[in-house]
Amino acid sequence: MTGSDFSGSVPLGRRLVVETLREEASVWLFVAKTLLAIFVTGWIAMRLALPSPSTAMITTIIVANRQSGMVLAKSFYRALGTVAGAGAAIGIVAAFPQQRDLFLVALSLWLGVCAGGATLYRNFKAYAFVLAGYTAAVIVVPVIENPPGVFDSAVARLSEVLLGILVSGAISDVVFPSRVRDVLRRSARGQFSDFLGFVRGSMEGAIPRDAMENAHLRFVRAAVTLEDLRSSVIFEDAETRARSNHLRLFNQRFMAASTSFQSLHHLINRLKRARRDRAADALVHLYAPLGEALEVPLEAGEGARVLLPRLLVARERMREDAVEVRAGFADEQDLRDFETGASLLLRFAGELYDYVDAASTLQAPRIVGGPVERVRFDRGNDYLGAGIATARTTLTMLVLGAFWIESAWPLGSSAMLIATIFAGLFAVTPNPTRVTRDVTYGYLIGMVLGFLCHFFVLTQLDGYGLMVAGVLPFLVVGVMLQASQRWGGIGLGWALGLLYILAFKNHQVYDPAHFINDAIAQIVGLMSAVVSFIVIPSAIGSPWLRRRQLAALRGQVALAAEAPLPGLRHRFESVNHDLFSQVVAQTEPGSADSRALIAWALAVHETGRALIELRHDMARGELPPTLRPYLEGVLATLARFYVKPDPASYLLARDAVATAIAGVCEHEGHRHLLEHLRLVRMALLDGESVLAAYMPDTPPAKEIAHAS
């Protein structure tokens, strides 16, 4: 019985109650494990007489996550960043031990570079950069007046941070662990069943454009989510780590198959709109064996193994049917349309088989066979956006450092440290405006509660156990809010503000004047980070960056036309999916911007993939000297059009494709190139695509139209 069958047999009300209780249990388990990690870390730090146990305790807050694998991944990269930051701190102090001005300039530049580097990643790798900057500041700022003490400071901070990481990872992995591998498996099964179900349900051929756009959005999110999960699960599960490259291959084959699938149905839709029903119906008929082969329960694993021989039989039937149908065409135009679609359909059938084969291999009890094809999931990064984050953080630190020097403020170091932490954390958030506001509110609440806890509760208690009992009521709400998607920013700020202002040590000092001055310094540091994002807004989510990312997405056609062929198909698919997911995450669903983005993404996927296949076919055999210039002209004009679209470059690209088609038709041994050229030609002439805005009012000349 499949999961859907089971869920359908349970009353809706009961399912809602079960899901609500499961969610509440997950939240409270997260709260309990996080609090346990905080206080166990604090106890060990005090037993070891570390200088700042609160630093170790704060570490557990920053790495906290509901999933064990996420904690381990976050901790791993935090450890890397901590070690790198310690090395940078020692280097800065060694270079400028007596020059405070140059010392602060070097530190500000390091913090800026780390903040910029953090923006280039969408997973826990960003924390390595954030912590590299934060750790350097934590180490060097307290010893600015005593440079020889930097080594002791580095050892202490490393010990405190690594202790927090070790305790968090151990508790998360031992106490009722919630495995990311289970989420990964569900995601892989969901991707598999959703895609194959969509393929099976499209046997009638034509799919409305809005349905295809929504499907494309789902497929992109599924591919990017699976890669993000894979990069985290490898830290918690040895078996998943061994299958990591198989997972990458599974995901890459999914992206390839989904692109060909979309191109196929765009082609069928175009034929129907052009009233070329004979060719469209023939393609739908040819598609039928593939749909019939998928008429089994769509669960990765046993279902995948069952599908493989069925898909082989379906492909053979499709080849045989294609020969028979081709012989029945009397009209040359219908024949050309059918040949283009049949070639694309057979390519899709092969890619679908490869995808199902990858799913079957993943679900086998153990991996057998030789080395698997090594693939990568490349990311689409905007380095100018990272440069903005670098400049913002550097300027913020320089301004604070200059104020600290000129004012001789005793607690300027505290302001610098807080600004460092939040400048890095805010730089990697997808919605920095809302997050900065929420974290600021939470931090202020945490400090107010910290004052009450410090002077009205802890002064009445003695011993670590009573201290835990006194702090727990003030901390538990913040940790609970941290588990919420909506209130997570407030919860994070609450917990950090409370623990930071309490500044636990083996010998607590109760000095109201120092406490208030420290709180003021922390507020100044926090507000400096907030103001820096107002003065120099984050590029993430801005219309400016969306336009740049959309331009980068269009530029993928130039990549497909010009980049070296080895590994190009995988690189093209993964960068496309990553860029699209970045832009769509910052675009209002259903808006004009969102619709334009999806339309461009579909056009880029279809054209770019056709050009890659064309170049592969060009590379497989010798081309006549008279034919190569035509094909190279197609690649060059299409690349220019997508990089900078306008009506003039559209006409050049359209006519270059038509001329190349006419040239290929004159060479009998190279007619296999026609399918790719005709597919590109149809995409260029699609009046419902995003390219329609660049089409002239008059249709192409009759002789060119017939060349397609």
Q: From residue 620, give the alpha-carbon distance in Å to each of 37, 260, 468, 560.
A: 59, 21, 71, 17
- The letter for the amino acid at 350 is G
SS (H, E, C) 354-376: HHHHHHHHHCCCCCCCCCCCCCC
Mean pLDDT of 44-53: 92
Task: Give Cβ neighbours of residue 144 (< 8 Å, ≥ 6 apart).
Answer: 100, 103, 413
Of 570, 573, 611, 550, the residue nearest 259 (C-alpha): 573
Question: Which pTM value belongs to this model?
Answer: 0.72
- Token pair for residue 260? 């060909």
Label residue 235 by pLDDT band (50, 70, 90).
Answer: low
Structural domains for the chain: 20-178+380-535 (no CATH), 180-235+244-362 (1.20.58), 543-707 (no CATH)
d(CA 139, CA 492): 23
- Token pair for residue 411? 């607690």
**Which has more confidence, 242 or 145?**
145
In this model, does residue 199 exceed pLDDT 80? yes
SS (H, E, C) 262-308: HHHHHHHHHHHHCCCHHHHHHHHHHHHHHHHHCCCCCCCCHHHHHHH
Interaxial angle between packed helices 100-118 and 412-427, expressed in degrees from 0 to 180 and rounded to the nearest 10: 20
Tell which phi-psi region holds residue 642, choosing left (phi > 0), alpha (psi between -120 and 50) or beta: alpha
In this model, does residue 706 exceed pLDDT 80? no
d(CA 68, CA 37): 13
In this model, does residue 542 exceed pLDDT 80? no
Of 688, 672, 683, 610, the residue nearest 650 (C-alpha): 683
**Which has more confidence, 334 or 543?**
334
The CA-CA-CA angle for residues 215, 219, 223, to 5°, reads 175
Mean pLDDT of 107-113: 90
Cβ pair 67, 178 in contact under 8 A: yes
CA-atom Rg of the chain in angstroms: 30
Interaxial angle between packed helices 432-456 and 488-502, expressed in degrees from 0 to 180 and rounded to the nearest 10: 40
| pLDDT value at residue 4 | 35
- Token pair for residue 57? 């305790």
In this model, does residue 377 exceed pLDDT 70? no
- Token pair for residue 606? 């279809």
Mean pLDDT of 359-387: 68
d(CA 674, CA 662): 9
Match 């129907």 to its residue by tokens.
Answer: 272
Label residue 41 by pLDDT band (50, 70, 90).
Answer: very high
| pLDDT value at residue 702 | 39
Tell which phi-psi region holds residue 301, choosing left (phi > 0), alpha (psi between -120 and 50) or beta: left
Match 């329960």 to its residue by tokens.
Answer: 297
**Which has more confidence, 410 or 430?**
410
d(CA 25, CA 124): 25
- Token pair for residue 24? 């509440």
The CA-CA-CA angle for residues 56, 58, 60, to 5°, reads 80
| pLDDT value at residue 538 | 64
Cβ pair 527, 615 in contact under 8 A: no
Q: Would you give the DSSP letter of residue 699? A: P
- Token pair for residue 282? 């023939």
- The letter for the amino acid at 191 is Q
Give the distance, in angstroms, between the CA of residue 650 and the centroid of all CA atoms in the same chain: 32
- The letter for the amino acid at 280 is A
Terminal CA-CA length for the chain = 49
